[in-house]
Structure formats: structure tokens, C-alpha cells
Structure 1
Amino acid sequence: MGAVTVLTVLGAVDVTVTAVGFIRPPPSPPAAGIPDEVLDGVAEGVAVDYLSWDTRERERREQVLRRWALPDREVDGWDGQGRQSADSPAVLARERRGVDQVVLTVRVRVVPYAPDEQTGSQPPPPTQPPAEEPGTSSPVTDPGVAAAQPAPTDPPGWRAHPARWLVLAVPLARHDGRVLLTAPPALVGDPGTTLPEPVPAVEAVSDDRFTRETRQAVQSFFEALATGELDFVRAPRARIASLHNAAVLVELRQWRGMQAQPGAPAEQRTGVASAVWRVAENAGQLTCAYRLNLHRQDDRWLLAGIDTDTGKAP
């Protein structure tokens, strides 16, 4: 198995994560009769398409992602800028969430591109796909199912950054006999051989005061998640993998803390957040949604768990 991997998308990052000898996750009982190889195939296809984009071909990406997603479900977190090519996906882990839903962790190799300012040229404007006339079919020169990956060449006006590995959490569910994406994938840390505890999805009520009081702490959590400096923000015994500088935090776009659950310890709280990541300068950005578990210790809120937002299964 070759080496593969965020974020994503995630100026320029000089650290490249290299991995060798990747091991496929062990077989696990199929969820609702869906074989592991089917789940893996869908998750790997989603991951490659999701981490591939070209500002000149936005409509192509939109069409591709709609094919993977639940009907009428918005799953694109890309900001529409820059260019990136992804390949070599490998599933690292599968985690069942109920009967029909599963989250797969996929490592992907990406090559980000930035406008080549040294040449003084700019990328050409976005192109629109030619309209098909009634009764005609797609040209033979473009057969098969469309993919979001740009052509594997350096086009005029673009400069390639070094390749790097990213890890993506891909939430999938069964729907009308298909396996489809339920929410935008999210950049996560490489799980290695130890999986983090999932953050339960519970119905909760927003707590505005708690949200205001903890926003700076949550900002620090995501900054540490990017750099790997988790020792000062991670709760004891929490298992959290960092992005190892594969992405840079652009901003904490949203944080919403929740009221304490009835009967839960006062020092344990949950919340939902969205973070904007940049993989390389001027190569594009991704917005990813997460669920967080917080633990209070010595009057400080620490990160006890982080999980991707899986959306609602059909």
C-alpha cells in the first residue's frame, strides 16, 4: 500500500506528512448488510473528489459532489478559489453510527497550486461546460463518470506546492439502495492505530453565555489541532490526533456551546463549531464542521473530544 493523506485543504505549509507501510483497517461487521469494500470504495471516491478543485471549473465540482450526496444536501465547504489535485486514497478506519450510518477516515495525497505571480500571468477565467443540444450525447473524448480532479499538469499561471498527505472524515449513510454522503467531510488528524472516542450527537439547547465565555478557548483548541501543540488544551486521557501542520487555521467561523445535559456532570459540556482551513497559500480554503466535548478542570475548559458533524441520516 502506498503512502497517502488534510484538509484539506488546508501561507504555505512547509511541513509534509510522510507515512509508509499503511495498514488497512481490520474487517468489521457490515452495517445493515453494506460490505466494507463498498463503504471503502465510496469513501475513497468522495475523498478524492472533495479534495480536488479548480476555480475555473466550479460547476464541474458542484455536479460531481451532487452525485455523491443525499438529495438536496449541501456538502461543499470549498471557498471557490485556487486549485488542488488529490489522489491515492486509503481508508484508515470505519466507525459505525447507528444502523445505517458510518464515518470513514481516509488518507489522501494532495498537490495544492497557487497563482504563479513570478510569471506575471494569471489563471484563465472560469470556463463553462458546453451546452448539450437535444438528442446529443457526451463526446467520446470525455467518457465515464465525471471526477473533480483537475488535469494532472501544471497549467499556465499556476505553481505547484509540494505534495502532502491529508486525512478526511467522510460521513456516509444508506439511502434508497445507495451509499451517500450525509454532510461535508472534515479534515481530521491521522488516527494512527488508536481511534478517538466519538462525540455523541445529542439534541441540546444553545447556551449563549457559555458560548461567549468559551469562544477563546475553542479558538485555542483549533489552533493546537493544526500545529499539534495539544498538551496544554487537551483534557486528561483524551485521545485527539492533530493535523501536524498539514493545514493552517484561517478562522473559527462559528462556535455554539450547549446547555448541560440533564444528569450530566457540570464539568462536562458539548458544542458545535465550524473552522476554516488553508492547506497552502492561495490554493483554496475549506470550511469544516465539528462536534466538541469540553471538560472543565481547575477553572479551565479543556478539549475532551472532537468529532466531525455527520449531519442527519435519511
Structure 2
Amino acid sequence: MLIETGSSSTGTAPDLAEVAETAGRIRLAVESVVTGRPDAVRVTLAVLFAGGHLLLEDVPGVGKTTLAKALARAVDGTVGRIQFTPDLLPTDLTGVNIYRSHTHEFEFRPGPVFSNVVIGDEINRASPKTQSALLECMEEGQTTLDGVTHAMPRPFFVVATQNPVEMEGTYPLPEAQRDRFMARLSVGYPDPAAELVLLDRMESRDPLADVRPVVDGPTVVRLVDTVRELHAAAAVKQYVLDLVLATRTHPSLRLGASPRAGIQLLRAAKAVAALDGRDHVLPDDVQELAVPVLAHRLLLTTDARLSGTTTSAVIESLVARTPVPAGVSAGSDAGLR
């Protein structure tokens, strides 16, 4: 099990170059299996290097679990796979204390969440009680059992998949659980050309078998720390805050974005900047991640839901009308320092 105690990063140019280069190798490994979804892979990498967790939502059979498994194989670390079912118990995730009669002591046996990459398949098929077992793990990087706190390994990256709640046998994720995921992605169907390539690749064998690790866990931890050191100008932070505050007063929403949402939007924007080889955040980075990071945390009013409005459409409208900070644009570094 890979456990990193922590490292310091100065966010230097060589460090940022390594982030972009490493992300490129992971992207090639994942796209050798997942075809026709470059935007989804880009957001997945941004969440990984931002130190967050990812929720993949769509109908069965479009490649949610395949994307998660390909990423897990590309990172050389421990992998925990959890198939969520209605009878799953919280201790099936976090682990249990077992009494050893010969020593007259309890021994902690960790569950599958004590892994570098945790794949939670169909997370909304488990009861809210079981889903809530992940709250402390995802937010604080630890779990408490019988009064004893156990730290998660680093890196600790949860990739959960879920089917739409309209499908039979599913439970909606609690608001607190959704807020722990840095981003939510809808994988969607590939275009016809990409699907034809998929048919060729899957005709006789599983391409997942050919995916090999391209980066180790300690390197991922170090690069996550590097991304955290990227510069974000005060104007860019104010822009993030303006978007978050706008969700709290929007007439179509009864629950806006939390302070945690703003923090995670800024961290995700830093990761996108690092993927592009930049040492500073632009409003364009914030706009690119606004829907994946914010939309799943919001709750629509009854009238808005009945009228067919979506939270993604609300975020898009807010991004379109929220003023971009003066002097901060993709074409200039003015005002960034």
C-alpha cells in the first residue's frame, strides 16, 4: 500500500512541466481504452491532480466503469473495487475490528476504501447509510471506527459511477455526499467514428489488459502538491466567489453552492492550468470547470424542475453573465501577478 507522508513543492517551471508530461502519459493510456471522449478524460485528469474525487453519471454501458478502471491501471498503486448493492454495510467499505482470542486484542482489518484508487461502481444502488460511510474518508482522508482514527493512503482518489435516479433500484445521493465529489461528469455516447474504433478494439479482446502503469503513487502526491502552489490572482479568486455567490440568489435554485464548492472550483482550475503548462490560473480555466464542479451540488426549485430547467443550464447562464475580471484574459498575463 502506497502511503505518502507529505512533500513540499515550490511550483517551479520544471515541476509544472512534469505535471503536463505525466498527465499526457496517463491520457494516452486511458484513451487507448476510452475512445471519443477527450473532454471527459481531461476533466478526470484535472480532478486527479487537484486532489479531488470524481462522480461519473450516465446510463449503463457507456464506459463509466471502463474509464475508472483504465485510470486505476495507469496509476501504479493499490486499487479497491466496491460493487454497491442495497445490502452493502458501512463496515464492508471501511473495515472491521476482529477480536483475536489468542492475544485478547482487537485487530483492525481495513476495507477496500484503504486504497490509492477506489472504484465505487453504481454508488447510488446502496442505501444512504452505506453511502455516508464515505463522507469522512473523502473529506478528511481518514475514517474512525470504534473511536480509533485510521488515515487513508496517499494518493486517495475515489471514482464513483452511478446510473440516473430514474432507473429502477437506485437511491439519490444525499446532498452531503454529492458535495464531497469535486466534479461530476456525464460520459455520454461516443460519436459514430469513435464507436466504430471501439468495436474494432473490443472485437476479440479487452484493451484494458494492455494498460500498464505510467506513474507511481508518490509522484502523483508530489504533483498534487505542486498544483496547489500555482498562482491564482486576487481577481480570479473574486471571480470564483462571484459565481458561487450568484448560485445562492438565483431564483431557480433552492440550494446554492457551498464554500467547499468554491474551494474545489479554484483547485480544479489550478489543475487545468497545470495541464496546459501554465503557472497561473485564468478565468477560462474557471469557466471550463464551472459546470462539472458546481452543477451537481445545486438543488432546483420545484417550478424550475417542472419547467425542464437543469442545474447545468443555470451554471452556464451564470458564467455567461458574470463579469470577467478586467485585465485577466487568455491572451494576456496582465494583472495576474
What TM-score bracket applies, with the shorter chain setting the length?
under 0.3
As a proportion of its length, which structure holds more strand?
1
TM-score (norm 2): 0.24
As a proportion of its length, which structure holds more helix?
2
TM-score (norm 1): 0.25
